[in-house]
Amino acid sequence: MSGWRVETQGWAVDRSRPVRFTFDGKSVSGFAGDSLASALLAAGVTTVGRSFKYHRPRGFWSAGAEEPNGMADILGTPHRVNVQMTVEPAQDGMVLRSINGRPSAEKDRNAFIDRFARFIPAAFYYKTFMFPDWHMFEPRIRAMAGLGALDPAAEGHLPTAQANAFCDLLVIGAGPAGLTAALKAAEAGRKVILCDDQPVAGGSLLYREALIDGVAGPDWAAAAVARLRELGAQVMLQTTAFGRYEHGLTGLAESLGQGDAPRLWRVRAAETLLASGAIERGLPFANNDRPGVMSAMAALQYLRRYGVAVGRRIIVATNNGIAYEAAQALALAGAHVTVIDPRADAPACDLPRRRDRIEAVIGRNGVEAVLLASGEKIAADAVIASGGFTPTVHLYSQAQGKLRFDEAIQGFVPERKVTGLSVIGAANGAFGLAEVLADAAAAVGAVSPKAEGPHWPFKIDAAWPAPKAKGRIWLDLQNDVTAKDVELAARENFVSVEHLKRYTTLGMANDQGKTSNLPGLALMAQLTGRSIQETGTTTYRPPFVPIPLASFAGIRGGQLMNPVRRLPLEAEHRSDGALFREYGGWLRPAWFGKGEEAEAVNREAKAARESVGLFDGSPLGKIEVIGPDAGKFLDFIYYNTMSTLKPGRCRYGFMLTEQGAVYDDGVLVRLDENRFIVSCSSSHTQGVALLLEEWRQDSFDRARVQIHDATSRYATLTVTGPKSKALLEAVGLGADLSDEALPHMALTYGAFGGEPVRITRVSFTGDRSYELSIRADRALPLWRALKETGRAFDAVLLGGEALMVLRAEKGYIVIGKDTDGRTRPMDLGVSGPFEKKRGEYLGKRSLHLPAVSDQARAYVGLESLTGEVLPCGAHAVERNGSAKRSIGFVTTSHFSPNLSRPIALGLVENGASRIGEILELHHLGKSLKARIAPVCAFDPEGKRLHA
Amino acid sequence: MQLFTCPFCGPRGESEFHFGGDAGNIRPEGDVSAEVWTDYLYFKNNSRGAARQIWMHLACREVFLMERDTVTHEVISSEALVQEQQA
Amino acid sequence: MTRHYSAISLLKEGLNGQQGWRPAWRSPEPKKRYDVVIIGGGGQGLATAYYLAKTHGLRNVAVIERGWLGGGNTGRNTTAIRSNYYYPESTALYDLSLKLYEGLAKELNYNIMLSQRGMMQVISSPGEMEMAARQVNAMQVNGIEVELFDRGEVQRRVPIFNFAPDARYPVYGAIFQPRAGVARHDAVAWGYARAADRLGVDIIQQCDVQEFLIEGGRCVGVQTSKGEIRADRVGMAVAGSSGALAAKAGFRLPITSYTLQACVSEPVKPIFDTVLLSPMTGTYVSQSDKGEMVIGGGLDRVPSYGQRGNLPQLETVLSGLLEMFPIFRQLRLLRQWGGTVDVTPDSSPIFSESPVPGLFVNGGWGTGGFKAIPAGGTLFAHMLATGSHHEISRPFDLARFRSGHMIDEAAGAGIAH
């Protein structure tokens, strides 16, 4: 093919602004307004890529989003792969690399593969490569597959914020149908969004000859857009509607230019009109994949829009009337055009014409001539082939719409409206302009504009690939599927369309079969003696065209992905040198100071037992349960009986799942008769709040018990250690902290700086401890006072890691670490309620299922025999001959600075009765030993709670 | 994004809701058989088509009954549980 | 006619214009009666039929498929195969499966393209590393070869992962099972179908089960859109449709059907050669032999039989993917779809005689049925042939939901739910 510029045509290109880019290292020049494809065509580049499997040379088939051949990687920033050159604007300085052609598309060293094509038909790989083993072949096959190549050194699409929009009417496609419907609806006062994937509105009006209300197509379209904007409609160009989702939601991708990911729009419309037009398909003849074979509407578009004629001796082969417009236009532009049309009732036309069809294209790397069925050979440098138009119904089908095969247009059309979505215009099978406008106007209850032209009646005769045809007739140009492959599939009984697709890969490439699916299934229909309707289509899946992954991610990434919850005092901790880690979704100090972890943690844990430790426990759950039935409610929620708790007192307890596993533990505080605070694990706050709310509404009088999650309202500051009471008294909270007034597990109130402080005496360290809860935004002065006054008491800031050591020394559990989903309260040594509690509680009945005793384990201490810290996660094993069985595992393991030896905790079968026994442990392939010990390693008498 | 209708807040995106199981799956109380208990605990209607389900709207925390079609995803009706209790 | 698949037969048929290939399977009309009828022509059903014929000599067997064979979850899943499980019951099941997969291409004479490129589960905190050690040790005690990688090893093997200091989820290490991998999903279904057909199994597609024939309280066959079909034993292996089918037989199952989505990117040249999962982002990915990134994540949280994708979960999964692999910002989404998965309370499958004698259930696979197809078929065939459990399938009986003997892998990972 020898494309050339036609001076008198090409309204979209600005000849005063040249652009220059390279393709496979070769410099190409075009004009601003060109697509990459139009510039390459004008420059006479014919072979623009190599096919996926056989490495056949390929040229542009289309001028739009259905393009199967013309893809390239665009190198640079962002690095983009498999870009369709037919829809990508040409820009100065672009560096393009063709797909599957090395060193270039023109001269591909793998072109020889095509000579072996007969041995590697569809699905050949299922039949071989089994000996000695697939792994021997896989790397080579993988290297041959794939299209473009990613560049690890380059950037991809930058994050783009997503957007939501709501409207009365969303119109997809700004061709004659979409513009008419949008305009009429906006004039009627409806809130309209109109989108189109092109940079200019108009659709087929941009290249077909027509008048609407007496105005030339492109002018009418421009005026319509201006009027729409005046009326407040949102007109979104270069915006592809890619998917139809639930309940009226449509996904759009708005192109924002080179670096940024297209913006994902979620548009919720009361009504959606799909005016997405139709896609031209080719004709079945041998070598119909040669560079230089192009669709009629593409040739017309290249000519009128970009001023590029695709050849000088052009064959226009068609089975319908629409291609005549392209033939006439190309002839007028100066090309020599011959029409090949087998139809008896072809329209009158003054171009040379044969009533015939093409048998084959002749030419190795492009079109040299065509061979007609009659045997006549006609020299040519380009073939325009129009096999009809397939309505673009993807989004309708995604919305569960059913299709009907329409013999009159030889295509599938929507059978009926689906909820909230109608299809209009060519997408609805209306191919004449007047018909299109009438369809569009009717959809919005308006009067149709007046149409004149285009003048060629559509009238189509079916021209599907036929069984047993000579030569290789290509259906899926991108995945290299021929008619013979479909016949092979039929022969092997892969006759359902889904089997056909998967077996031959027909329609599974980047173009998702936009030009190939229908010819393929029409052939299968013939081969199986079914109608096309009976054969049916495969399921249409989003997206309509490939959409950058980055569009779906939006700005969700880095710190904006699953954002951590932050402490009110974070800045203060940072200035105190805290190292932060994420614990249960909260970003918390792990330790303070610049030292190594082990050194810092030991120092903190030791100091806390010697003097006083300050710990920011703000994430601790604080869920208020309020009302006259609160006690009764909590009896149901907790494994332990809670209604007997006296006001002003605290009680530790478990919450179980309905399956009987320990779900959470914590201290319940009774503020007064009708008011409790559930202190749940910080990572469980939301789960517990939901659980409480669900059961409150399910089983209780909702007027008599209320749930309020106040976790984030309060900061909770923990003061622990032998000097904790003295420190608090020195800070001065205005509360009586004497053991008589405030014994262990009791509550009182004080104030600091005029702000009330709730003081609970509970301990997670085994030392005398106080938890001070104060309004989160007033916590800083109190924290500073604790630190400053604390200097005199050798106070130390405690990070989360040291706290974990302190609680481990005492054997206090951490849910999810020292327990798993099979841990029942009895395993943790709390059997009282199981044996005695009368009333209903969550999980009660499950505790009496047979599995509970079968799976019983005990929470125990574990001692290292060597002085080395036991590996956390090691399993205790029992041997039976050579077979090993896990009988438990190490859940917690630390070096205890206060005991100057390793300590560990674990769950072990029959552990409680095996204290003192030696266990075999397995850790990462190695065997070691440990002794079962009591859970509490430090201050087993609990004297320090009161010291 | 499906739209579910909270009886209190109106139509909202599906991500605001939490599935609470089959409507009418009443928690058996007392010393019931393992079969009755585990029926309640584990066995589901899992209807294809119209299904009556309990949902919680996480934003307002109300638990309600929604009838929806599990194939077409049509929301057939939403009703507050409070009214059910009064009836 | 060419029956056997090999490089030589391919060469021969290449010279013969591919004219001599036999149909991969027949399209028979159903007989009035079979020894065993299996409802569901997915991987599980087809494998069951194959092993019934091959191992148990039962050749008067039919597989009834409502749509086209392999068209359910077998043809929609992301094809990961692994046996890195915590509980011994799970290990026995899934490792049997992996072992059978390793010999399957040769056994079926069908290249299922098992690619044992290993599976890596990335760990992102010190606490999770301890939990990972607990899991790795359990797997090793169960006899599974699995390693705990440190950060350096992960970086060496997957250099394109996000190791930036400001990554949302830092890499501390990974759990790695070298024998894990992927296979070509369609080929597994087709390979079993072809092999079963060769042994005389009737695969009846486009045949809808309308009701069960129950006589004297026993299931004696099915009424279908192609007429009544009687059988000594009826097995159902219908994944997401289990609940709906059980309802026709008058019982309920501990199963909820949800949509599980998956998607693929456009194909690119090889850049990533393992299967990688991050529990923190909930996203997993592998690169197919064709070059596409095959991407999956968690369930859509809405019970559904819809079999279609949705935006919210897709956005979550893809944002997770890009956080893990910044280079994939160069990629585009090609296709998104959904399957209906049958989720049990413990996320483990069910092999069981149903409450209706004569009717047996293989289901509850949730998101993980593909990797278990060879074992599922073996064990279910045993059950349908003998009426009783294989030792490996016994713990997966429905009885566990009555006794509380759940096999909940999440529980092993410390989660109570």
For residue B87, pLDDT beyond 50: no
Residues 16-55 of B with CB under 8 A from C: 17-19, 34-35, 38-39, 41-48, 51, 53
Indicate the pairing of strand B50-57 with strand B62-69.
Answer: antiparallel
Q: Is B71 on the interface with C (CB under 8 A)?
A: yes
Asked whether the beta carbons of A641 and A629 are under 8 A apart, the reply is: no
pLDDT digits (tens, 9 = 90+) for C16-61: 999 999 999 999 999 999 999 999 999 999 999 999 999 999 999 9
CATH number of the domain that B63 lies in? Answer: 3.30.2270.10
Q: Helix axis angle, C373-386 relative to C185-198, nearest 10°? A: 30
Count of structural domains within chain B: 1
Query: Which helix (DSSP H) or strand (DSSP E) does residue A613 occupy?
Result: strand A612-616
For residue A708, pLDDT beyond 90: yes
Of the candidates B3, B30, B63, the beta carbon closest to that of A247 is on B3
Question: In A, which residues are within 8 Å of B29 by CB distance?
Answer: 840
Q: Report the alpha-carbon distance of residue A85 to residue A298 in Å, rounded.
A: 13
Question: In B, which residues are within 8 Å of C404 by CB distance?
Answer: 38
3-state secondary structure of C378: helix
pLDDT digits (tens, 9 = 90+) for B3-44: 999 999 999 999 999 999 999 999 998 889 999 999 999 999
Q: Report the alpha-carbon distance of residue C372 to residue A786 in Å, rounded.
A: 59
Close Cβ partners of A761 (under 8 Å, ≥ 6 residues apart): A650, A742, A743, A744, A745, A746, A747, A768, A769, A770, A771
Per-chain mean pLDDT for chain C: 95
For residue A262, pLDDT beyond 60: yes
pLDDT range class, residue A419, cuts 50, 70, 90: confident
Q: What is the pLDDT at residue C417?
A: 59
Q: Is C60 on the interface with A (CB under 8 A)?
A: no
Asked whether the beta carbons of A151 and A79 are under 8 A apart, the reply is: yes
CB distance B45–C243 less than 8 Å? yes
For residue A721, pLDDT beyond 80: yes
pLDDT digits (tens, 9 = 90+) for C240-298: 999 999 999 999 999 999 999 999 999 999 999 999 999 999 999 999 999 999 999 99
Q: Report the alpha-carbon distance of residue C25 to residue C108 in Å, rounded.
A: 13
Mean pLDDT of C137-151: 97
Q: Is A128 on the interface with C (CB under 8 A)?
A: yes
CB distance B13–C310 less than 8 Å? no
CB distance A658–B72 less than 8 Å? no
Chains that touch A (3 or more CB pairs under 8 A): B, C
Look up the domain containing B19 and give its range.
3-86
Question: In A, which residues are within 8 Å of B81 by CB distance?
Answer: 697
Q: What is the pLDDT at residue C416?
A: 67
CB distance A693–B63 less than 8 Å? yes
Sketch out chain C's domains with CATH numbers.
Answer: 19-110+184-254+346-412 (3.50.50.60), 119-182+257-343 (3.30.9.10)
Q: Is B30 on the interface with A (CB under 8 A)?
A: yes
Of the candidates B2, B34, B46, the beta carbon closest to that of C256 is on B46
3-state secondary structure of A213: coil
ipTM summary value: 0.96
CB distance C411–A78 less than 8 Å? no
pLDDT digits (tens, 9 = 90+) for C126-139: 999 999 999 999 99
A175 DSSP 8-state letter: S
Q: What is the pLDDT at residue B83?
A: 61
Q: What is the pLDDT at residue B85?
A: 47
Q: Is this model's pTM higher than 0.90 or not?
A: yes
Q: What is the pLDDT at residue A706?
A: 96
Mean pLDDT of A113-140: 92
Sketch out chain A's domains with CATH numbers.
Answer: 4-108+282-386 (3.10.20.440), 118-144 (no CATH), 163-279+391-452 (3.50.50.60), 464-535 (1.10.10.1100), 623-709 (3.30.70.1400), 811-945 (2.40.30.110)
Mean pLDDT of C131-149: 97
Q: Is C338 on the interface with A (CB under 8 A)?
A: no
Of the candidates A693, A699, A840, the beta carbon closest to that of B61 is on A693
Residues 189-248 of C with CB under 8 A from A: 190-191, 205
Q: Is C355 on the interface with B (CB under 8 A)?
A: no
Q: Is B76 on the interface with A (CB under 8 A)?
A: no
Q: Report the alpha-carbon distance of residue A752 to residue C300 in Å, rounded.
A: 48
Asked whether the beta carbons of A633 and A725 are under 8 A apart, the reply is: no
- Written as one string, the DSSP assignment of C60-110 is -EEEE-SSSTT-SGGGTS--EE----SSHHHHHHHHHHHHHHHTHHHHHTS
Per-chain mean pLDDT for chain A: 95
A567 DSSP 8-state letter: -
CB distance B41–A400 less than 8 Å? no
Close Cβ partners of A79 (under 8 Å, ≥ 6 residues apart): A73, A150, A151, A154, A155, A156, C330
Asked whether the beta carbons of C269 and C330 are under 8 A apart, the reply is: no
Mean pLDDT of A6-11: 93
CB distance A549–C148 less than 8 Å? no
pLDDT digits (tens, 9 = 90+) for A425-472: 999 999 999 999 999 999 999 999 999 988 888 999 999 999 999 999
- Residue of B44, B58, B73 to mutate, testing the C interface (most C Cβ within 10 Å of its Cβ): B44
Question: In C, which residues are within 8 Å of A249 by CB distance?
Answer: 311
Q: Report the alpha-carbon distance of residue C136 to residue A926 in Å, rounded.
A: 12
Q: Closest Cα partner for C327 from A78, A774, A603, A213?
A: A78
